[in-house]
Structure 1
Amino acid sequence: MHRTLESFDAATHDRLAADPVRNTIALTSLDRVRRLPATDHPPTLITFHENGEVIGSLIRTPPWPFQAADLPLDAVDLAVRTTHEVDPDSPGVTGPRERSEAFATATGKDFSESLATRLYRLGTLAPPAVEGSGRLATEEDAELLGTWRKEFLREAVPEAPDEGAAEAMRSSLRLGNGHALWEINGTPVAWAVASLPQAGMTRVGPVYTPPEHRKHGYGAAVSAMVSQWALDQGATDVLLFADLTNPTSNSIYQRIGYQPLDDWVEFWWKR
């Protein structure tokens, strides 16, 4: 386990950046910690070694679950023992299905599948023709974004921990992430965010449309807008996750140019 982010970066930065698609969550999470250091709950940072070489890693940024995308399958039992010792309060694990399921099973805990998603990468962007127009959000929109983030999490991940959503949105804006709002006659009807590029990779999400504004294409329009923003920032890999229980969103993303890559799953321990 690494006591400092600097130590962890020295061991893993090049490794994670070499595969930014698989390590998308780790790269964006670590960037946030690097630029907005946590004071109350520092991250848990673990590396796995063989013959002096780093062969994998496992991280957690409280209050969220462990991220297992870089966890070697032959190190799962060691990972479970280590995390039990150094971070017994972790709520679960997320990552590509094979890795996260292996970790969850090896804990021996009762767990539930809270979210199954498909990872997509943008091919050729095809913005839809939709009524209205888009604009980038500012800090003046933070309260609205915070409210919509809460509503998004309530629908998508009911187990998600409570957080100061408006302040989280202010922090995201200060980090330089792109928040886009789609509007009809000046009224916001949909929202999407894309992370600032890391190693050429940007991830879109959340994407949220309030129930009263759905089925008009606003989510597709704002997703395309923020995807273009990401390309304009120099991103070469524009990614997003779509909930596999929502066939509508999966088809929408494919229509605007996203192509499926891999399935991920998030498990939370039963309390």
Structure 2
Amino acid sequence: MDARVHPTLASFDAATLDRLAADPVRNTVALTSLDRARRLPSADNPPTLITFHDNGEVVGSLIRTPPWPFQAADLPVAAADLAAQIAAEVDPEAPGVTGPRQKSHAFATAFATAFATAFATAFATAFAADRSFTESLATRLYRLGTLVPPTSPGTGRLATEADIELLGAWRKAFTREAVPEAPDEEATEIVRSSLRLGNGHALWEVDGTPVAWAAASLPQVGMTRVGPVYTPPEHRKHGYGAAVSALASQWALDQGATDVILFADLTNPISNSIYQRIGYQPLDDWAEFWWKR
């Protein structure tokens, strides 16, 4: 097996677009992040794009869109060592990896060794010693079956540019609570660009006051991913999260999505049960690993 580092997104697309699109549920993160990179390119933070080949045929890929971790959903486990060796050389600043548990764990394990080999310094040796990465997030991937909207007090609507400041603050709070290891980001600008890309942002309100939020990506080859979903602490335990999740899911269906999916934190049994009550069915377990620095 060999690998190729692609200098441009166009080159990577030529090799992988049909492959990724053939399984949009598994490749959900790659499809949405690459779509963003195409439509809102960043000269300062170009993506890292690697393909793996066996007898001339593309058999997998590994990508990273800074500042986020590597995405290993399309990485063959057999290519983990090769992928880690190349990644350590071309993108040593990567903070971690996410993907189906077996794939992401294989890559994280191999990356520690590859990093120490590529950078034979005291820092790299310390990095590879003991346990060099930690599991920062364990999630379960769900796909919507038949949507069952809950009965909750309040009403829903789609967010507009007038809501950007509120949603930026809520996104920052969500990240701080759910993924504290995540890199710094301009949360308000993330929301602003998401609206610009055509993604759906649903708000649930009670007496005109927003109490919960759920975002949903514009469909990519029939797939939409719902998330983040956030209810401020003072508004929890009233069913608002379920209501706004159902509203975002219905928006995705109205946009023509055939696969509506989401990730739920496995350490939060409440959210997992809520999603199943409104029609989501479990598919696969994912894990995110971050390097110790």
TM-score w.r.t. the length of structure 1 is 0.99
Match for residue 125 of structure 2? none
Cα offset for 1:38?
Answer: 1.0
Find the structure with the greater CA-based Rg: 2
Match for residue 83 of structure 2? 79
1:64 aligned onto 2:68 = yes
Q: Distance in 1 between matches of 2:288 and 2:80?
A: 16
Structure 2 residue aligned with 1:170, among 162, 177, 192?
Answer: 192
Q: Distance in 2 between matches of 1:28 and 1:151?
A: 22
Alignment of 1:24-63 (within 5 A): 24-63=28-67
Any unmatched runs of 5+ in structure 1? none
Cα offset for 1:139?
Answer: 1.1
Cα offset for 1:203?
Answer: 0.2
Structure 2 residue aligned with 1:107, among 107, 111, 127?
Answer: 111
Structure 2 residue aligned with 1:159, among 163, 177, 181?
Answer: 181
Q: Distance in 2 between matches of 1:24 and 1:212?
A: 32
TM-score w.r.t. the length of structure 2 is 0.92
Equivalent residue letter for 1:186: G
Q: Distance in 2 between matches of 1:165 and 1:86?
A: 28
Cα offset for 1:145?
Answer: 0.6
Equivalent residue letter for 2:225: R
Q: How many residues align?
A: 271
Alignment of 1:4-43 (within 5 A): 4-43=8-47
Q: Distance in 2 between matches of 1:88 and 1:56?
A: 21
Q: Distance in 2 between matches of 1:155 and 1:114?
A: 12
Q: Percent identity?
A: 81
Match for residue 289 of structure 2? 267
Cα offset for 1:140?
Answer: 1.1
Q: Distance in 1 between matches of 2:136 and 2:13?
A: 30
Q: Distance in 2 between matches of 1:81 and 1:107?
A: 7
Cα offset for 1:32?
Answer: 0.3
Match for residue 227 of structure 1? 249
* SS of equivalent to 1:251: helix
Cα offset for 1:193?
Answer: 0.3
Cα offset for 1:98?
Answer: 0.2
RMSD: 0.5
Structure 2 residue aligned with 1:98, among 95, 102, 107?
Answer: 102
Q: Distance in 1 between matches of 2:264 and 2:191?
A: 21
